[in-house]
Amino acid sequence: MIVILLGPPGVGKGTQRSMLEEEGPWRKVVTGDLLREAARAGSELGRKAKAYMDAGDLVPDDLIIDLVREKLEAMPDGADVVFDGFPRTEPQARALDALLEELGTAPDRVVLFTAPDDVLVKRVAGRRTCPECGAIYNVHFDPPGTGGICDECGAELFRREDDRPESVKRRLEVYREETEPVVEYYVRSDVPVSRIDADREPGEVQASLRREIGR
Protein backbone atom coordinates (compact mmCIF):
# COMPACT_ATOMS: atom_id res chain seq x y z
CA MET A 1 0.00 0.00 0.00
CA ILE A 2 1.25 3.48 -0.86
CA VAL A 3 0.09 6.35 1.35
CA ILE A 4 0.93 10.04 0.95
CA LEU A 5 0.63 12.28 4.02
CA LEU A 6 0.02 15.96 3.23
CA GLY A 7 -0.50 19.00 5.42
CA PRO A 8 1.12 22.24 6.58
CA PRO A 9 4.23 22.43 8.80
CA GLY A 10 3.41 21.58 12.41
CA VAL A 11 0.23 19.66 11.61
CA GLY A 12 1.74 16.44 13.01
CA LYS A 13 2.62 14.42 9.90
CA GLY A 14 5.89 13.20 11.46
CA THR A 15 4.20 12.19 14.73
CA GLN A 16 1.40 10.38 12.90
CA ARG A 17 3.85 8.64 10.58
CA SER A 18 5.94 7.37 13.52
CA MET A 19 2.78 6.09 15.23
CA LEU A 20 1.74 4.37 11.99
CA GLU A 21 5.16 2.69 11.74
CA GLU A 22 4.34 0.87 15.01
CA GLU A 23 1.48 -0.82 13.13
CA GLY A 24 3.63 -2.79 10.70
CA PRO A 25 6.70 -2.81 8.48
CA TRP A 26 6.18 0.50 6.67
CA ARG A 27 8.98 1.90 4.52
CA LYS A 28 9.17 5.66 4.75
CA VAL A 29 10.17 8.46 2.43
CA VAL A 30 10.68 11.56 4.59
CA THR A 31 12.40 14.12 2.39
CA GLY A 32 12.96 16.62 5.24
CA ASP A 33 14.86 13.96 7.26
CA LEU A 34 16.85 12.87 4.19
CA LEU A 35 17.86 16.48 3.51
CA ARG A 36 18.78 17.15 7.14
CA GLU A 37 20.94 13.98 7.15
CA ALA A 38 22.63 15.13 3.93
CA ALA A 39 23.24 18.59 5.43
CA ARG A 40 24.75 17.07 8.60
CA ALA A 41 26.96 14.76 6.53
CA GLY A 42 28.10 17.79 4.47
CA SER A 43 27.42 16.07 1.11
CA GLU A 44 27.05 18.14 -2.05
CA LEU A 45 23.26 17.74 -1.89
CA GLY A 46 23.30 18.74 1.79
CA ARG A 47 25.30 21.88 1.09
CA LYS A 48 22.99 22.89 -1.75
CA ALA A 49 19.83 22.19 0.27
CA LYS A 50 20.79 23.86 3.56
CA ALA A 51 20.37 27.51 2.51
CA TYR A 52 16.86 26.85 1.16
CA MET A 53 15.87 24.92 4.26
CA ASP A 54 17.15 27.50 6.73
CA ALA A 55 15.17 30.20 4.91
CA GLY A 56 11.99 28.09 4.95
CA ASP A 57 12.00 27.81 1.14
CA LEU A 58 11.62 24.64 -0.88
CA VAL A 59 14.66 22.81 -2.22
CA PRO A 60 14.54 22.67 -6.07
CA ASP A 61 12.37 19.90 -7.51
CA ASP A 62 15.15 18.16 -9.51
CA LEU A 63 17.26 17.56 -6.37
CA ILE A 64 14.29 16.18 -4.45
CA ILE A 65 13.06 13.96 -7.25
CA ASP A 66 16.52 12.36 -7.66
CA LEU A 67 16.62 11.72 -3.92
CA VAL A 68 13.20 10.06 -3.94
CA ARG A 69 14.02 7.98 -7.03
CA GLU A 70 17.12 6.60 -5.30
CA LYS A 71 15.15 5.78 -2.18
CA LEU A 72 12.28 4.06 -4.06
CA GLU A 73 14.58 2.02 -6.28
CA ALA A 74 16.23 0.54 -3.18
CA MET A 75 12.89 -0.74 -1.81
CA PRO A 76 11.60 -4.29 -2.26
CA ASP A 77 8.66 -4.79 -4.65
CA GLY A 78 5.25 -4.54 -3.01
CA ALA A 79 6.54 -2.76 0.13
CA ASP A 80 4.09 -0.62 2.13
CA VAL A 81 5.40 2.92 1.71
CA VAL A 82 4.44 6.12 3.53
CA PHE A 83 5.46 9.50 2.09
CA ASP A 84 5.86 12.38 4.54
CA GLY A 85 6.88 15.81 3.23
CA PHE A 86 6.80 14.71 -0.41
CA PRO A 87 5.36 15.66 -2.88
CA ARG A 88 5.35 19.35 -2.01
CA THR A 89 4.82 20.82 -5.51
CA GLU A 90 2.70 19.78 -8.47
CA PRO A 91 5.79 18.88 -10.58
CA GLN A 92 6.90 16.60 -7.71
CA ALA A 93 3.46 14.93 -7.67
CA ARG A 94 3.66 14.31 -11.43
CA ALA A 95 7.22 12.97 -11.08
CA LEU A 96 6.08 10.63 -8.30
CA ASP A 97 3.28 9.26 -10.47
CA ALA A 98 5.82 8.58 -13.23
CA LEU A 99 8.32 6.96 -10.85
CA LEU A 100 5.68 4.71 -9.30
CA GLU A 101 4.37 3.78 -12.73
CA GLU A 102 7.89 2.71 -13.76
CA LEU A 103 7.87 0.48 -10.68
CA GLY A 104 4.45 -0.91 -11.63
CA THR A 105 2.52 0.70 -8.80
CA ALA A 106 0.53 3.85 -7.88
CA PRO A 107 -0.57 5.79 -4.77
CA ASP A 108 -3.47 4.14 -2.93
CA ARG A 109 -4.49 7.05 -0.73
CA VAL A 110 -3.68 10.66 0.04
CA VAL A 111 -4.31 11.85 3.59
CA LEU A 112 -4.56 15.60 4.22
CA PHE A 113 -4.15 16.70 7.85
CA THR A 114 -5.58 20.11 8.77
CA ALA A 115 -5.36 22.48 11.77
CA PRO A 116 -5.84 26.25 12.25
CA ASP A 117 -2.76 28.45 11.64
CA ASP A 118 -2.45 29.59 15.27
CA VAL A 119 -2.22 25.94 16.37
CA LEU A 120 0.43 25.23 13.71
CA VAL A 121 2.58 28.19 14.75
CA LYS A 122 2.43 27.20 18.42
CA ARG A 123 3.27 23.56 17.68
CA VAL A 124 6.24 24.43 15.47
CA ALA A 125 7.62 27.01 17.92
CA GLY A 126 7.58 24.42 20.74
CA ARG A 127 8.89 21.51 18.69
CA ARG A 128 12.13 19.81 19.74
CA THR A 129 13.67 17.03 17.68
CA CYS A 130 16.05 14.19 18.49
CA PRO A 131 19.05 14.22 16.12
CA GLU A 132 19.72 10.50 16.71
CA CYS A 133 16.38 8.66 16.53
CA GLY A 134 14.11 11.34 15.05
CA ALA A 135 11.67 11.37 18.02
CA ILE A 136 9.61 14.57 18.17
CA TYR A 137 8.61 16.42 21.38
CA ASN A 138 6.83 19.66 22.17
CA VAL A 139 7.79 21.80 25.16
CA HIS A 140 4.13 22.82 25.63
CA PHE A 141 2.16 19.66 24.81
CA ASP A 142 4.51 16.68 24.97
CA PRO A 143 7.73 17.50 26.87
CA PRO A 144 10.47 14.88 27.38
CA GLY A 145 10.76 13.35 30.89
CA THR A 146 14.15 15.02 31.51
CA GLY A 147 14.51 18.56 30.14
CA GLY A 148 16.18 18.62 26.74
CA ILE A 149 17.00 14.88 26.60
CA CYS A 150 15.36 12.28 24.34
CA ASP A 151 13.32 9.70 26.31
CA GLU A 152 13.97 7.08 23.64
CA CYS A 153 17.74 7.25 23.18
CA GLY A 154 19.21 9.83 25.60
CA ALA A 155 20.49 12.23 22.90
CA GLU A 156 20.31 15.99 23.39
CA LEU A 157 17.23 17.48 21.67
CA PHE A 158 17.54 20.46 19.35
CA ARG A 159 15.32 23.08 17.78
CA ARG A 160 15.41 22.95 13.99
CA GLU A 161 16.78 26.12 12.40
CA ASP A 162 13.61 26.39 10.30
CA ASP A 163 11.35 26.04 13.36
CA ARG A 164 12.31 29.58 14.42
CA PRO A 165 9.43 32.09 14.10
CA GLU A 166 10.99 33.93 11.09
CA SER A 167 11.10 30.72 9.01
CA VAL A 168 7.74 29.35 10.17
CA LYS A 169 5.77 32.23 8.62
CA ARG A 170 7.59 31.72 5.33
CA ARG A 171 6.98 27.93 5.44
CA LEU A 172 3.24 28.49 5.88
CA GLU A 173 3.22 30.86 2.88
CA VAL A 174 5.17 28.33 0.81
CA TYR A 175 2.68 25.65 1.83
CA ARG A 176 -0.27 27.76 0.61
CA GLU A 177 1.44 28.68 -2.66
CA GLU A 178 3.21 25.45 -3.61
CA THR A 179 1.69 22.52 -1.73
CA GLU A 180 -2.04 23.29 -1.68
CA PRO A 181 -2.06 22.81 -5.48
CA VAL A 182 -0.81 19.25 -4.82
CA VAL A 183 -4.00 18.57 -2.86
CA GLU A 184 -6.03 19.84 -5.83
CA TYR A 185 -3.92 17.69 -8.16
CA TYR A 186 -4.87 14.55 -6.24
CA VAL A 187 -8.51 15.60 -5.89
CA ARG A 188 -8.63 15.77 -9.72
CA SER A 189 -6.89 12.37 -10.02
CA ASP A 190 -8.27 8.88 -9.29
CA VAL A 191 -6.52 8.65 -5.92
CA PRO A 192 -8.91 8.88 -2.95
CA VAL A 193 -8.17 11.85 -0.67
CA SER A 194 -9.07 11.73 3.05
CA ARG A 195 -9.19 14.92 5.12
CA ILE A 196 -8.42 14.51 8.82
CA ASP A 197 -8.83 17.14 11.54
CA ALA A 198 -5.41 17.10 13.22
CA ASP A 199 -6.33 19.61 15.94
CA ARG A 200 -7.03 16.72 18.33
CA GLU A 201 -5.07 14.34 20.59
CA PRO A 202 -2.44 12.41 18.57
CA GLY A 203 -4.12 9.07 19.46
CA GLU A 204 -7.48 10.23 18.08
CA VAL A 205 -5.83 11.50 14.90
CA GLN A 206 -4.03 8.16 14.53
CA ALA A 207 -7.31 6.25 14.92
CA SER A 208 -8.80 8.35 12.10
CA LEU A 209 -5.72 7.75 9.94
CA ARG A 210 -5.87 3.97 10.39
CA ARG A 211 -9.60 3.96 9.68
CA GLU A 212 -9.07 5.93 6.46
CA ILE A 213 -6.32 3.63 5.18
CA GLY A 214 -8.06 0.46 6.44
CA ARG A 215 -5.21 -0.72 8.74
Residue positions annotated with a catalytic role: 13, 88, 127, 160, 171
Please identify, using beta-carbon distances, which residue of 9 and 107 lies nearer to ligand AMP.
9
Choosing from 4, 12, 16, 86, the residue that interacts with ligand AMP (CB under 6 A) is 86
Q: Which amino acid, one-letter code, is at 102? A: E
Choosing from 2, 53, 81, 95, the residue that interacts with ligand AMP (CB under 6 A) is 53
Our finding on whether 10 is near ligand AMP (CB under 6 A) is no
Our finding on whether 96 is near ligand AMP (CB under 6 A) is no
| Alpha-carbon separation of residue 93 from 19, 83, 97 (angstroms) | 25, 11, 6
Our finding on whether 88 is near ligand AMP (CB under 6 A) is yes
Q: Taking a C-beta distance cutoff of 8 angstroms, is the pair 47, 14 a contact? A: no
Q: Taking a C-beta distance cutoff of 8 angstroms, is the pair 83, 4 a contact? A: yes
**Burial zone of 190 (CB within 10 Å; 0-12 exposed, 13-18 middle, 19+ buried):** exposed
Using CB under 6 A, which residues numbered 151 to 180 contact ligand AMP? 162, 171
Among left, alpha and beta (phi > 0; psi -120 to 50; other), residue 104 is: left
CB of 214 to ligand AMP, least distance (A): 25
CB of 46 to ligand AMP, least distance (A): 11
Our finding on whether 6 is near ligand AMP (CB under 6 A) is no
Angle between helix 44-55 and 61-73 (nearest 10)? 130
Choosing from 2, 3, 20, 35, the residue that interacts with ligand AMP (CB under 6 A) is 35
Q: What is the spatial distance between Cα 45 and Cα 61, in angstroms, rounded to a whole number?
A: 12
User: Where are the alpha helices (H) located in 147-201, listed in sequence order?
Assistant: 165-174, 180-188
* Residue whose C-beta lies closest to ligand AMP: 32
Region from 39-47, 53-61, 131-139, 206-214 binding ligand AMP, contact rule CB under 6 A: 53-61
Interface positions with ligand AMP (CB under 6 A) = 9, 31-32, 35, 52-53, 56-59, 64, 85-86, 88, 92, 162, 171
